[in-house]
Amino acid sequence: MKYLFTLLLSIFVITAFSQDVTNQLGNNDGTSAFEVRDSDGDPAFAVFDNGSIIGLGSMRMPIKIISTNYLVTTGDYTLLADATGGAITVTFPVGLQVSGPIINIKKADNNNNDVTLTDGTNSVTLNSKGDGATLQYYKDTDGADPDYTGWYIIAESGNGVTSTTGTAF
């Protein structure tokens, strides 16, 4: 979510650079907004004077099909894993400097080859077509929770996921 907010804020700042945003936002009652439009002139999102941001259309996030061992990058969002040619290991990076990255991964093939998700120490296995998991990275930035830094499964689907939702892997 932090990356999405940063992206939206960046687009807002770039778009609003030559405009007087204060006058367009109104009287800080949560009803006035600065609207950002896409290249076709359609509304993309609105920033309200109370600080909320509302998307006015669909989000377009990257999706990629993988069929060999793969190292997740910060530009990934959804991965469809095709293990038809053999088992696949998807490695999640550790030591990220920020919290927030979210990765969705789903086993897309119909065979018995596993898709293993790992951070190099712990792992989760997707065994059946349609098995999937959504993982989010948490980074302890203030030193209060150093034992919790890592990737967490925040959602899972299917019968062949060998893990427990809400735990680090």
For residue range 3-42, list pLDDT tens digits in order.
555 544 454 444 443 333 333 444 455 555 677 777 777 7
- Alpha-carbon distance 153 to 134, whole Å? 6
Q: Does domain 63-157 have CATH number 2.60.120?
A: yes
Ranges of the chain whose pLDDT falls below 70: 1-33, 49-51, 57-59, 146-147, 159-169
Listed by start position, the domains of the chain span 2-55, 63-157
Which pTM was predicted?
0.65
Compute the residue count for the chain.
169
Nearest to 111 by CA among 123, 131, 127: 127
Looking at residue 40, what is its pLDDT? 79
